[in-house]
A and B are shown apart, each in its own frame.
Chain A
Amino acid sequence: AQSVTQLGSHVSVSEGALVLLRCNYSSSVPPYLFWYVQYPNQGLQLLLKYTSAATLVKGINGFEAEFKKSETSFHLTKPSAHMSDAAEYFCAVSKETSGSRLTFGEGTQLTVNP
């Protein structure tokens, strides 16, 4: 079975600081990996995805993530946090044999302090 672990349910950074949100997965076969963002009172919006092409994936709003097979990780980063980045972030995994079903991590709430 596949699973996703997000380290840190709450992360707080200062405006302008590096954002690092951690995601580790377990999958018996090569996975597809996603980061979604949820702003208050909204649905989930795709930030970026890894679908077996380049291991460094660039997404919207300056976010990027690197797929590291040896570490089974897909951490999300942004060089400089903005107040508008405050939201909840979800890592999700799927695999070819799961028929496009996603398994989500528990979520990380990002707070950006002025």
Chain B
Amino acid sequence: DADVTQTPRNRITKTGKRIMLECSQTKGHDRMYWYRQDPGLGLRLIYYSFDVKDINKGEISDGYSVSRQAQAKFSLSLESAIPNQTALYFCATSDFTGTGSDHEQFFGPGTRLTVL
């Protein structure tokens, strides 16, 4: 019973194509995040959203856009994909309780994107 799901799990596309990666969660969390993982670089934050009307850029937002369609859904788009966007993409969620536990994030299984 996955709490955070991502679709597709794998995608191969060509340079210049528009791509959308989708994330859904059943945890009831308000906060959602998109990261990309590259070997030797760890995870880097692309965008994050603290509620449906709140969307913020992360450290590497150029070339990406997001949409928060509902509390449970957060999509990442690559308007015109380029080869250096080839990476593993993760969606994550976190709760808001006003305690340190808010900073714990729960991750989806990832989407492996290859841009040729």
14 CB contacts below 8 A, A to B, read A4-B42, A9-B40, A34-B103, A36-B107, A44-B43, A46-B104, A94-B103, A99-B50, A100-B94, A100-B103, A101-B33, A101-B45, A104-B43, A107-B40
The size of the chain A interface, using a CB distance under 8 A, is 26
Of A4, A32, A44, A104, the contact of B103 (CB 8 Å cutoff): A32
Chain A residues in the interface with B (C-beta under 8 A): 4, 6, 9, 32, 34, 36, 42-46, 49, 51-52, 90, 92, 94, 99-107
Q: Does the CB pair B42–A105 fall under 8 Å?
A: yes
Q: Does the CB pair B48–A101 fall under 8 Å?
A: yes
For the complex of A and B, 7 pairs with smallest distance between CB atoms? A51-B100, A104-B42, A43-B107, A94-B103, A44-B107, A104-B43, A32-B103
A104–B40 alpha-carbon span in the complex (Å): 11
Return A14 CB to nearest CB of chain B, in Å. 25
A46–B104 alpha-carbon span in the complex (Å): 8
Q: Does the CB pair B42–A107 fall under 8 Å?
A: yes
Q: Chain B contacts of A34 at CB under 8 A? A: 103-104
Return B107 CB to nearest CB of chain A, in Å. 4
Q: Chain B contacts of A104 at CB under 8 A? A: 35, 42-44
Of B58, B103, B110, the contact of A43 (CB 8 Å cutoff): B110
A61–B108 alpha-carbon span in the complex (Å): 21
Q: Decide yes or no: A106 and B45 within 8 Å by CB, A34-B104, A42-B109, A100-B31 being known contacts.
A: no
Please provide the chain B residues from 48 to 92 with a CB less than 8 Å away from any CB of chain A in the complex.
48, 50, 58, 90, 92
* Closest chain A residue, CB of each to CB of B4: A43
* Closest chain B residue, CB of each to CB of A32: B103
Q: Chain B contacts of A44 at CB under 8 A? A: 43, 90, 92, 107
Q: Chain A contacts of B107 at CB under 8 A? A: 36, 43-45
A43–B4 alpha-carbon span in the complex (Å): 10
* Closest chain B residue, CB of each to CB of A49: B104
Q: Does the CB pair B58–A101 fall under 8 Å?
A: yes
Q: Chain A contacts of B41 at CB under 8 A? A: 106
Q: Does the CB pair A52–B100 fall under 8 Å?
A: yes
Most buried by B among A45, A90, A107: A107
